[in-house]
Amino acid sequence: MTSTDSSVSRAEDSAQPQTTFADLGLSDAVLKAVRDVGYETPSAIQEATIPTLLEGRDVVGLAQTGTGKTAAFALPILSRLDKSQKAPQALVLSPTRELALQVCESFEQYASHLAGVHVLPVYGGQAYGVQLSALRRGVHVVVGTPGRIMDHIAKGTLDLSELKYLVLDEADEMLKMGFAEDVETILAETPDEKQVALFSATMPAQIRRISKKYLSDPEEITVKSKTTTSANTTQRYLMVSYPQKVDALTRILEVENFDGMIVFVRTKNETETLAEKLRARGYSAAAISGDVAQAQRERTVGQLKSGKLDILVATDVAARGLDVDRISHVVNFDIPIDTESYVHRIGRTGRAGRSGSAISFVTPRERRLLGAIEKATRQPLEQMQLPSVDEVNVTRLTRFDDAITSALEQTTRIDAFRDIIGHYVKHHDVPETDVAAALAVVAQGETPLLLSPQDEVKLARDDRKTKQRNADGPERRKRSSKPMAPYRIEVGRRQRVDPRQIVGALANEGGLSREDFGAIDIRLDFSVVELPADLSHDFFSRVASTRVSGVQIDIKPDKFGPRKRDSGRSGSFDRGNKRGPKREGSWNKDDRKARKPRH
């Protein structure tokens, strides 16, 4: 095909009214998934690309990694899928296995309310059997690397004859890695009548040639990202596991000399949850999100400006346009998924010549997002260490000394209390220093003034537990003294799941410890897991979108409990069984008869 490019340049304009995902024409099921994920407004590339793809036009998108490109092409594709068609309808080519898996996970997340939609990652290094079985059953979206896609085409195991949508993601990277010939071979194997979206950070001559040859009258969308950050803002990051985040934030609040602070989270639900936890720790904190009424938002911002409030927990949308002189620190409690959001967030501090500080929490799974931010802003973020017990105690003692000094300056009140203390010393024969120490205990309340070495040990132990949860076999778990209850998750032997995957997913996402797991009974289409009976609402919120083997687990209390064993083939596991799990993932003849095709 030949084409005449029509070029449209799009840039984010904060002065314009905010566009929402509901304005873009997406299907209701996809919109529901977007709300579940917690997205509030589209990024620049999403706002420009989604309506164009929904119109059926080809697109050339020029945008950096980390601008939200995956949602820009995944959401319109899912909105237009024909679930009755079993041959692949969409093919996404990615330069690396890691990116292919990330894109596949995003598709599955956005398709959470589209029953029967199946997405398959196809990449080198994975056994062909898994991919062949899925392709025979039928998939709607294939996400893969060029080399393995080429292998399947050559073997005749990937049918692209009914393909409707093709995406070239990070096309310039594919060319740099030597996939140019493979990409063109794959393109030549696809139907002429299809919609193509090509995304690239740059537009070298070779990509321009591919665009003209294989795209039909594409709209060229260039996102001019505002990726400059203030030189007055110090940018740091902390590697931290999800369960550690609240404790890590508390320690940072103790040692950082901050005036006003905004703590950014990804979803609206998390704003109030985190604000409550901070208030319980004695901090003056409030939450705002896109759902907060304008009058309440203005009151909250007014309290932040006046000093009645020190910490604001907010989402991206709620903090747009917020300009408060007191904001000395911005904390990305959840690192943003696109670089524009990062720049907007840290732009709330370091304004008008003032110095500011930005700290981002990065979990091990989010290293790629950190790299994208550094690449886009062209500024390296300095890694910081979690403040130690000694550092926290030095800060607390300094604050205590300052409080005593301030009180001593109030001479009139001091004179009155001096007489009271003298009377106590005289009648109880107690040294004045002991009385002063006792008064300090009274003033301090139940919270110890200083942290103990055990607090450092506990945090280090929790960190080690988090790192080992996926690696440690559940057979080494000790019996818990906690009241336990059975919970059902919608993943079983049909998905080839084993106990380690279940433990790893629930522990990492839900913040559970190794001792929180009881018996794990893996059945054909579901599993039953014994967990603490008093699981909090916060736990269920955190694991709501958790997936195991690509399936959303949909955890809920189970009224039946662990099932009767089927001759040792149930894939069940009991913490008291020192021999560990029994043939997890196996199935018997009765299972085979009842087995239905899974697509």
Per-position DSSP letters for 452-511, written without gaps between them: -HHHHHHHHHHHHHHHHTTTS-GGGPPPP-S-EEEEEES--GGGT--HHHHHHHHHHHH-
Count CA within 13 A, CB hemisphere, residue 567: 6
Cβ neighbours of residue 295 closer than 8 Å, sequence gap 6 or more: none
- Torsion sign (Cα): 382, 376, 368, 240: positive
**Cα–Cα distance, 83 to 340 (Å, whole number):** 34
- Each residue's pLDDT tens digit in the chain (599 positions)? 433 344 444 444 444 567 889 999 999 999 999 887 767 788 888 999 999 999 999 999 987 666 778 899 999 999 999 988 889 999 999 988 878 887 898 899 899 999 889 999 998 877 788 889 889 999 999 999 998 999 899 999 999 999 999 999 989 888 887 888 889 999 999 999 999 999 988 888 888 898 999 999 999 998 765 555 667 789 999 999 888 899 899 989 988 888 899 999 988 888 989 999 999 888 899 998 877 777 888 889 889 989 999 999 998 777 766 778 789 999 999 998 777 778 888 888 876 567 889 999 998 878 888 888 888 788 889 999 888 777 777 777 777 777 778 778 887 788 778 878 888 888 888 888 888 888 777 776 666 766 666 666 555 555 555 444 434 333 333 444 568 899 999 998 888 788 877 887 787 777 777 678 888 888 888 899 999 988 888 788 878 878 787 788 889 998 765 554 443 334 444 433 333 333 333 333 333 334 344 44
User: According to the model, what pLDDT value does residue 575 have?
Assistant: 39
- Torsion sign (Cα): 44, 342, 375, 246: negative
Enter the tokens of residue 192: 């002429």
**Cα–Cα distance, 213 to 206 (Å, whole number):** 11
List domains and CATH numbers for the chain: 6-223 (3.40.50.300), 233-387 (3.40.50.300), 390-444 (no CATH), 469-594 (3.30.70.330)
Residues paired with 60 in a beta bridge: 198, 220
> Are the beta carbons of 77 and 111 closer than 8 angstroms?
no
Task: Specify the pairing of strand 59-62 against strand 141-144.
Answer: unpaired
End-to-end CA distance of the chain: 34
Count CA within 13 A, CB hemisphere, residue 593: 3
Per-position DSSP letters for 270-325, written without gaps between them: HHHHHHHHHHHTT--EEEE-TTS-HHHHHHHHHHHHHTS--EEEE-HHHHTT---T
Q: What's the angle, vertex CA 25, arms to CA 28 and CA 10, rounded to 5? A: 140
Question: Cα–Cα distances in Å, from 585 out to 395, 580, 593?
Answer: 53, 14, 16
Enter the tokens of residue 545: 């979108």
- Pick from 147, 399, 116, 459: which is nearest to 257 by CA? 399
Phi/psi at 128 (5° precision): -65, -30
Count CA within 13 A, CB hemisphere, residue 384: 22
**Cα–Cα distance, 88 to 165 (Å, whole number):** 9
Per-position DSSP letters for 341-360, written without gaps between them: HHHHHHTTSS-TT--EEEEE
- Pick from 500, 523, 503: which is nearest to 585 by CA? 523
Count of Cβ atoms closer than 10 Å to residue 483 Cβ: 8
Enter the tokens of residue 463: 């960190």
> Are the beta carbons of 583 and 569 closer than 8 angstroms?
yes
Residue count of the chain, please give it. Answer: 599
**Cα–Cα distance, 216 to 218 (Å, whole number):** 6
Count of Cβ atoms closer than 10 Å to residue 547 Cβ: 15
**Cα–Cα distance, 511 to 521 (Å, whole number):** 21
